[in-house]
């Protein structure tokens, strides 16, 4: 049950990572300003993913 939940969370984080990455890439290619909200969301998702990954070692 727990491993299923963790893998589901991991795939969700990957989907969000791709989605936010597309937003940042689109803004950069359009020559617009930096998408701070997208970058912040990306940083939070990466942090959560790293926290989950570090817990798996125990």
Structure-token pair, residue 35? 């998408």
Q: Can you give the pLDDT at residue 4?
A: 75
Quote the distance between the C-alpha of residue 25 and its chain's center. 14
Neighbours of 5 (CB within 10 A): 9
d(CA 24, CA 30): 10
Rounded to two decimals, what is the model's pTM? 0.37
Segment 37-54, tens digit of pLDDT? 777 888 888 888 888 888
């Amino acid at each position: 049950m727990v491993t299923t939940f963790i893998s589901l969370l991991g795939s969700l984080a990957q989907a969000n990572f791709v989605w936010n990455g597309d937003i940042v890439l689109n803004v950069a290619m359009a020559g617009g300003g930096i998408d701070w909200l997208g970058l912040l969301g990306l940083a939070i998702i990466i942090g959560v993913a790293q926290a989950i990954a570090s817990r798996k070692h125990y």
